[in-house]
Amino acid sequence: MKKHNFNSGPSILPKSVMQQAAEAVIEFNNTGLSILEIGHRTSFFMEVMEEARALVKELMQLDDSYDVLFLHGGATTQFMQIPMNLLDSDETAAYCDDGVWGSKAIKEASLFGKASVVASSKDKGYTYINKGFSVPADAKYLHITSNNTVEGTQYFAAPDVSVPLIADMSSDIFSRQLDFSKYSLIYAGAQKNMGAAGVNVVVVKKEILGKIKRPIPAIMDYQKHIEAGSLMNTPPVFAVYVALLTLRWIKASGGLAEMERSSIEKSSLLYNTIDALPQFTCKVAVEDRSRMNAVFFLNDSSLEAPFLDLCKQEGMVGVKGYRTVGGIRVSMYNALPLESVVAFTDLMKHFAEKK
């Protein structure tokens, strides 16, 4: 049976990337060594790291005022590493509370300074994105989560603010064209759109660093990592290599323009199907519906278990909603083929006809 991988992360990877990664586990680039056993300071791996960093900047069309880091810890580590590097204890940072991950980032930031919530959609169960809010002029930065994986919402325009803008792009990075120069810091776990779990990318405008009074442990200091070219300690070598392969695949497939076109096609098909079938409903505001993670429900909750059982029988993997939200969640990352969304929407129609 063909499997359709809708997992929210770790998630589907391009087949060509998996094939190349598998081959590199046996032998990497005719070196006689596995990618798992090459030294991280050898020319073999340093070339991987430099190409990966260069591709990130190329795809984002960023100049040398930015640097790219590949770091341990996943995006969650950045919840505390960002304020540790940018926020003194007597200063304020602005945060948008649009869901689970934004809430966690606020909690961590409050350990280092004041985290001021300038916008929240909690009042309506995180089913929309705030717009038109104001940010205090003395805020050190504004932090947003550009795509909310759990709740199924997404920012389609960057907030227009006069302070440095920071975005957790873990679940929509490299899925669309943006003016990335509007952001002073972007971070993302790799395991959704750009590789395997175990590494996160940080893209930072260097001018925002080095301005706090607090001493920073060396391993948490962005400037130290920049100086070391992301080789301050042993990086997650294999995960960086898979990220490189995925970045190459994105570029070869048509870049961010093609990722965006495909994303619109897949998500439009799914949302149009949800809206056309009375058995299903999406509570997210139409203008804020995520192209990456569609979160929706059966109007008759007693039908949810039978529907999920049918999905399992038909090879639809990873469609059960997040544990605190419930319902159905269909993740449509870059590597997911249109045919998988077609198969899922056909299944929805079949189920609706029977019920």
First to last CA, the chain: 25
pLDDT of residue 332: 98
Q: What percent of the chain has pLDDT over 90?
A: 97
pLDDT of residue 355: 66
For 232-288, how does the pLDDT look when each residue is reduced to its tens digit (9 = 90+)? 999 999 999 999 999 999 999 999 999 999 999 999 999 999 999 999 999 999 999
Q: What are phi and psi of 304, to 5 degrees?
A: -65, -50
pLDDT of residue 284: 98
For 167-179, how does the pLDDT look when each residue is reduced to its tens digit (9 = 90+)? 999 999 999 999 9
Q: What's the CA gap between 124 and 87, in Å, rounded?
A: 30
- Per the prediction, the chain carries an average pLDDT of 97
Catalytic residue among 67, 97, 98, 101: 101
Would the pLDDT of 307 be above 90?
yes
Q: What are phi and psi of 337, to 5 degrees?
A: -75, 155
Would the pLDDT of 60 be above 80?
yes
Tokens standing for residue 263: 């994303």
Would the pLDDT of 314 be above 90?
yes
Residue 157: pLDDT band (50, 70, 90) is very high
pLDDT of residue 324: 87
Q: What's the CA gap between 238 and 38, in Å, rounded?
A: 10
Q: What's the CA gap between 52 and 111, in Å, rounded?
A: 33
Rounded mean pLDDT, 40-57? 96
21-249-54-263 Cα dihedral, nearest 10 degrees = -130
Q: What's the CA gap between 208 and 200, in Å, rounded?
A: 20
> How many C-beta neighbours within 10 Å does residue 23 have?
12
- What structural domains and CATH numbers belong to the chain? 15-252 (3.40.640.10), 256-354 (3.90.1150.10)
pLDDT of residue 195: 95
pLDDT of residue 329: 98
**Catalytic residue at 101?**
yes
Would the pLDDT of 196 be above 70?
yes
**Catalytic residue at 168?**
yes
Determine the Cα angle at 86 with ends 198 and 138, to 5°. 140
Catalytic residue among 192, 205, 249, 266: 192
On whether the CB atoms of residues 79 and 57 are closer than 8 A, the answer is no
Helix 237-252 vs helix 43-60: crossing angle, to nearest 10: 40
Catalytic residue among 168, 172, 221, 288: 168
Rounded mean pLDDT, 10-17? 97
Pairing assessment for the beta strands 147-148 and 280-281 based on DSSP bridges: unpaired
On whether the CB atoms of residues 347 and 310 are closer than 8 A, the answer is yes
